[in-house]
Amino acid sequence: MARWPFSAEHDELRRSIRAFVESELAPHAEEWEAKEDFPDSVFTRMGELGFLGLSYPEEYGGGGGDYLCNVVLGEEMSRCGSGGVAMAVAVQTDMAVPPILKFGTEEQKQRYLVPALTGEKIFCLGITEPDAGSDVQNIQTTATKVDGGWVINGRKIFITNGRRAHAITLVAKTDRGAGHHGISLFVVDTDAPGFEVARTLHKVGMLTSDTAELTFTDMFVPEEALLGKEGEGFYNISWELQGERLIGAAGTIEGAKRMFEAALAYANERKTFGKPIGKHQVIRHALADMATEVEAAQQLVYMAAWKVNNGEYPVREISMAKLLTGEVAWKVADKALQIFGGYGYAMEFPIQRGWRDSRLIRIGGGTDEVMREIIGRMEGL
């Protein structure tokens, strides 16, 4: 029987994605981590299998499924052994491309959405800047109206897929004096003159995900690059962030479950003082806490996803889910590494990778502190 909120059809999809991930992605995890990169062919292969467009309309090449299909994909990608690969794919499926479907013209959908679902065009999301992350209202990148289009100037940083992207869903100021009413969205090609990948950042974790600093110097884009209406970008990107946070939470807590399972298996194998370490009360209780916290956090993710699937916009629950999964995942990863002891700290064992990768969720897509502010305000504080 399918586990709530999923159906038998979701379970069938899960088996299909799992078979792909375990046979075509996971075997390359060590190689890709060492290179701090993975091939673009991952996108085209996933597009070929239909995994990049699970919940998108069939008329654009999507699968026509519901939102829970995205959750299944986010969860199963945690099995690939590399958080960076899973994150890069999530940026494509649930972060940079959804605004094109929701706010784009038919021409934009044909030009960008259709090849995004096949993996022919790889996308990144241009929000964060050196001096503006969660504070979207204070971004400094500008788009100035000129004859026939816009001229964009500015910088973006910590951009996942930034080096490999063919196109960007970009947030820019179109009216400096209008506050959040002066922000607009654009969809632009990275081969436009004036665009440059300034550098690729080296990180503690998520090594396979290219994370770049981008610059825009008098980059001209045509009028039709505007995504949605001028001045509505703040509201439109705020909508996008909810999907980013929830799919990030779903993948993160499933990854934490993988860490728990690895620690549980090790606790049953590793012996000290004549018995498996899992038989020592201190380890048994640690594993009991890990199992409980993972289950609680996952159920909160499922509640939020169920509401989204039913047409709700549960900002409160999504914020709670992201906050809780981030804290639980980090705690579980740290306990798992402790249970593995010296082996956990050794680079030859993958447990350290999960430990490093799990830390990002508490920063990316809105920090823990921002999530607490949102929750506090929604509680009337």
Amino acid at 208: T
Whether 278 and 341 share a structural domain: yes
Catalytic residue among 244, 254, 293, 317: 244
| 330: in domain | yes
Tell which of 231, 261, 284 closes a domain: 231
| 180: in domain | yes
Tell which of 215, 231, 247 closes a domain: 231
Range of the domain at 318: 235-378
**379: its two tokens:** 């509680």
Tell which of 68, 98, 122 closes a domain: 122
User: Residues 52-111: pLDDT tens digits?
Assistant: 999 999 999 999 999 999 999 999 999 999 999 999 999 999 999 999 999 999 999 999
Q: How many helices (H) does the chain have, and how many strands (E)?
A: 14, 10
How confident is the model over 10-33, as a mean pLDDT?
Answer: 97
Q: What is the pLDDT of residue 171?
A: 96
Nearest of 312, 189, 169 to residue 233 by alpha carbon: 169
Whether 102 and 20 share a structural domain: yes
User: Residues 138-175: pLDDT tens digits?
Assistant: 899 999 999 999 999 999 999 999 999 999 999 999 98
* Tally of domains in the chain: 3
Whether 315 and 288 share a structural domain: yes
Q: What is the pLDDT of residue 357?
A: 95
pLDDT(348) > 90: no
Whether 129 is catalytic: no
In Å, how far are 42, 214, 281, 298 from 322, measured between CA atoms? Answer: 27, 27, 31, 10
| 314: in domain | yes
Whether 270 and 369 share a structural domain: yes
**9: its two tokens:** 């059809």
Whether 41 and 150 share a structural domain: no
| 137: in domain | yes
| 3: in domain | no
Return all residues near 154 (Cβ < 8 A) that are at least 6 apart.
129, 139, 140, 141, 142, 172, 215, 216
Whether 106 and 139 share a structural domain: no
Whether 117 and 130 share a structural domain: no
pLDDT mean across residues, the chain: 95
CATH number of the domain within which 190 lies: 2.40.110.10
Whether 219 and 244 share a structural domain: no
| Beta-strand pair 195-200/167-173 | unpaired
CATH number of the domain within which 75 lies: 1.10.540.10
Q: Confidence band (pLDDT; 50, 70, 90) for 1?
A: low
Q: What is the pLDDT of residue 31?
A: 96
Quick check: 187 and 115 in contact, CB under 8 A? no
How confident is the model over 18-44, as a mean pLDDT?
Answer: 97
How confident is the model over 363-375, as a mean pLDDT?
Answer: 94
User: Residues 205-254: pLDDT tens digits?
Assistant: 999 999 999 999 999 999 999 999 999 999 998 888 899 999 999 999 99
| 300: in domain | yes
Whether 256 and 176 share a structural domain: no
What torsion, rounded to 10 degrees, do the Cα atoms 90, 40, 360, 328 define?
50
Whether 227 and 200 share a structural domain: yes
| Beta-strand pair 275-276/271-272 | antiparallel
Could you tell me where the beta strands, DSSP code E, fall in the chain?
123-126, 142-146, 149-160, 167-173, 183-189, 195-200, 211-222, 226-227, 271-272, 275-276
Residue 19: how many CB atoms within 10 A of its CB? Answer: 11
Q: How far is 53 from 20, CA to CA, in rounded Å?
A: 16
| 2: in domain | no
User: Residues 311-341: pLDDT tens digits?
Assistant: 999 999 999 999 999 999 999 999 999 999 9
Return all residues near 238 (Cβ < 8 A) that are at least 6 apart.
136
Whether 359 and 245 share a structural domain: yes
- Token pair 């001045």 in the structure block, residue: 231
Q: How far is 312 from 297, CA to CA, in rounded Å?
A: 20
State percent of the chain over pLDDT 90.
92
pLDDT(133) > 80: no
Whether 220 and 316 share a structural domain: no
| 61: in domain | yes
Q: Confidence band (pLDDT; 50, 70, 90) for 179?
A: confident
pLDDT(191) > 70: yes
DSSP 189-230: ETTSTTEEEEEEPP-SS-TTS-EEEEEEEEEEEEGGGEESST
CATH number of the domain within which 239 lies: 1.20.140.10
Q: How far is 253 from 263, CA to CA, in rounded Å?
A: 15
